[in-house]
Structure 1
Amino acid sequence: MKRNLPLILTCCLFLSGIFATSQVAADTSLLTVKEAVFRPGVGARPGVVFLKLTNASDLNQTLISVQSNAADKIEIHTHDMKDGMMRMRRLDALAVNANETVILKPHGLHLMVFGYTASETELRMTLSFESGEQISFSPEIIAYGNK
């Protein structure tokens, strides 16, 4: 037993290092989605998603695409004023700076959902970032006229 003690201690130290390393790797994903809401479009109109996207890391992130199990296409959009008229504009990407929260809300940044399959009871979405990081979530589905 005394001969095996150094081997056992070495194994314990090695395994504790692996667990510490995996914990650090798990904590590097500091992107979170909160308060996500999906409002399906009326008729053939696209739906819209609002949410809070927080980057609690020290690295800037860039949202480059959004996919879903129940939609043909999802685009990042914003509203801006031009010649006294509010217009919607598609964005190729959305910057989420280090230690900041970006709020997607009505009359501002939002996600447009095209070709939503209303037969789906859950809209599962995945945000993909330039860094390769991904976040999956299911927004609450709220029809217009409710809440």
Structure 2
Amino acid sequence: MYSEKVMDHFMNPRNVGEIENADGIGEVGNAKCGDIMKMYLKIENDVIVDVKFKTFGCGSAIATSSIATEMIKGKTIQEALKLTNQAVVEALDGLPPQKIHCSVLAEQAVKSALLDYAKKHHITLDELNDFHPDEDHHEHGEEYEEA
């Protein structure tokens, strides 16, 4: 059901924690179903030099958060803006259909943190003009276990 990569990132998540005085912080999720992701970015000269996350949710939520941090660390803001949930799923060698929403949350958490960075630094990131971090991308009524 789950790939080796999903299990590895769930059992040994990378970049867990917080960044004090983060340049951008994004939080997405839905407390009702239990998946909440918080992403912290440290950015220098338009490059993400550090990224950390805290996720409350199922194993897939933790795995997608972990791989997303690895995918954007060391990248420019513009490169990180191109992260898609499909790229997250592919990097994990797939997810069950009912867990695809976790990859969407990972993408949204990154974009939410970048939006926070842009607001704090009074810059415009055109790629985020239509981004609304408060949209709920969950399938309501589905139960999630704490992981």
Normalised by the shorter chain, which TM-score bucket?
under 0.3
TM-score norm. by structure 2 comes to: 0.27
Which structure shows the higher helix fraction?
2
TM-score norm. by structure 1 comes to: 0.27
Which structure shows the higher strand fraction?
1
